[in-house]
A and B are shown apart, each in its own frame.
Chain A
């Protein structure tokens, strides 16, 4: 590969302008609950039809990476993930904002997103073909265990009671099963309602489960929504740089996790950030701080979800299999532009593909100043706006965003129902996070489980199918460590403390 010509091609003023515009548009759209990265790309794709393919790809990549990053704004400031990829960012981002560190959380999210995005884009640039082969080694069993690895997070998200976390997770899994069964096609748990035939949309559930309880409690007291110091402390760059440097291994590990999971077709940023969060908690010396506003939690999730952007392009470009829904839309745009994806793409249309890869790297770097500025503006807006304006704005975005997903008022009703239900369950100590975990991971877990069950039954090797495949066994061990390690570490610490106290 001749690096310099491709880099220069990506650095033309026109491409830079597209990258800046794409990052800004993507960040704003991603920050609005209900408007996902997929929707942002789908809406803006027709605007790229009149420009050269490489420039169009740069614009779409910039929108994508901006949208995944933008999801962190609403996750941190109003406890509502702007995109499903930002679900895990709410776990520590919102508690940080509640205690007066919202500005710091936004800056950390920016650093982590840029770091993760760069790692994903570099893997795309340097290691696309071997990683694509790795993705092909993943079958239903591996997807099932990957979902199980994500579900082990329930122990981290169960604030006070693991039992309540498990029950919440089961509720989420049951919600994810409503509608047409993934395997078999039976209509399940619809209460004879046409509105539930297609199941509960993940984004609809996210908005309801996270946003509505916040809205209900927001108006209950006249106190400020977020705690703010007497003096605004700007970007808090020095502090954020120190924390990021201290968490550099966490950032690197989470970015690699995001890249590996991003390569897998249909896995995506939500699972990547959940798994990275679980691993960050396991590796931390203070796992009990996770969920209480631990900066390492924000670093882990934001680096992992942005790493999936570059990584998702690996199967898209090399195999023609989109890694995530936004990749599927971009794949369609590529076909319109006459770009034929597959193993020959890198030799036959190298100019386009390498210009795009460098464009993605440049867009990710541009996200640093753009994201910091937009984040500061978002933070100042949320803390300055009085409750009687903030509450109706959230209400409007909630209803508008939910309706726009599928142009359906039924979705709005489902969102409200889930939201009120989540608030009631919250009063009894059942948090929303384990329910969301079940909703997001349910379809992947069920599809993998049933398909593996079928394969194992057909070959009369169910045990071997589920437990003896090398990648599956590795994930099982990882899941077991993630689930058991925090408990063991806690007991060990207590024992050491007791022996020290005599």
Chain B
């Protein structure tokens, strides 16, 4: 469970970034027609005001941060890398093959014990079955056209 931390560095950094975003929105809205610009400007104004108040509260030490709730950052990073790699491989290998590779990589990332041969074989069978079933369902029943790539 997350607990409150004394200083809110994350809140401060985000608020500064959001202040910059609101400035960028104002600048972008200059090039829009009046009808298209009125709503973004209004929201950017609210965003800027809220960000300034949050910055002030953070600097005065009146804003409590969120403590790290533990866990492996390496594995978290690996999940993002696996998802990005999965997406990048789809046009190259094809949706089904890339999904099989992504499924196996994600399973390996989430596994904490030693892989026995039996467990590994079972997992591979399940990965094949899951990808084949869902790919088949979407491509044949739901008529979703998947990118083919080098394989399938």
Contacts and interface: CB of A to CB of B under 8 A. Distances in A.
B54 A167 contact: yes
Contacts of B21: 171, 174
B10 A428 contact: yes
A143 interface: no
A92 interface: no
B35 A450 contact: yes
A196 B132 CA distance: 31
Contact of B40 (A174, A409, A416): A174
A412 B87 contact: yes
A133 B28 CA distance: 42
Contacts of B87: 399, 409, 412-413, 416
Contacts of B148: none
Interface string A418-452: 00100001011110000000000000011001100
A454 B35 contact: yes
Given A387-B110, A389-B126, A392-B103, A186 B10 contact: no
Given A167-B54, A174-B21, A395-B103, A183 B35 contact: yes
Binding site of A, secondary structure by majority: helix, strand, loop or mixed? helix
B93 interface: no
Nearest to A185: B36
Contacts of A430: 14
Interface string A12-46: 00000000000000000000000000000001000
Given A163-B53, A219-B109, A409-B90, A429 B65 contact: yes
Contacts of B42: 449
A429 B11 contact: yes
Contacts of A219: 72, 75-76, 78-79, 106, 109-110
B130 interface: yes
Interface in A373-420: 387-393, 395-397, 399-400, 403-404, 407, 409, 412-413, 416, 420
A163 B107 contact: no
A164 interface: yes
A173 B65 CA distance: 24
A214 to B, nearest CB: 10
B10 A429 contact: yes
B134 A216 contact: no
B33 A395 contact: no
B44 to A, nearest CB: 8
Contacts of A215: 79, 83
A416 B84 CA distance: 8
Interface residues of A, number: 59
Nearest to B63: A161
A228 interface: no
Interface in A92-143: none
A396 B131 contact: yes
A369 B5 CA distance: 47
B89 to A, nearest CB: 11
B107 A391 contact: yes
A407 B144 CA distance: 7
A206 interface: no
B71 to A, nearest CB: 3
B84 A428 contact: no
B130 A393 contact: yes
Interface string A335-370: 000000000000000000000000000000000000
22 contacts: A43-B142, A161-B63, A170-B22, A173-B43, A174-B44, A181-B35, A181-B36, A183-B36, A189-B40, A215-B83, A218-B110, A220-B75, A388-B111, A391-B106, A396-B99, A396-B103, A399-B86, A399-B102, A409-B87, A416-B87, A429-B66, A450-B38
Given A164-B54, A174-B21, 4 more contacts: A170-B47, A184-B33, A220-B70, A409-B91
Interface of A: 43, 160-161, 163-164, 166-167, 170-171, 173-174, 177, 181, 183-186, 188-189, 212, 215-222, 387-393, 395-397, 399-400, 403-404, 407, 409, 412-413, 416, 420, 425, 427-430, 445-446, 449-450, 453-454
Interface of B: 4, 8, 10-11, 13-15, 18, 21-22, 25, 28, 32-33, 35-40, 42-44, 46-47, 50-51, 53-54, 57, 63-66, 70-73, 75-76, 78-80, 82-84, 86-87, 90-91, 95, 99, 102-104, 106-112, 123, 126-127, 130-131, 134-135, 138, 141-142, 144-147
List of 3 A-B pairs having minimum Cβ-Cβ separation, nearest first: A220-B71, A428-B10, A186-B36
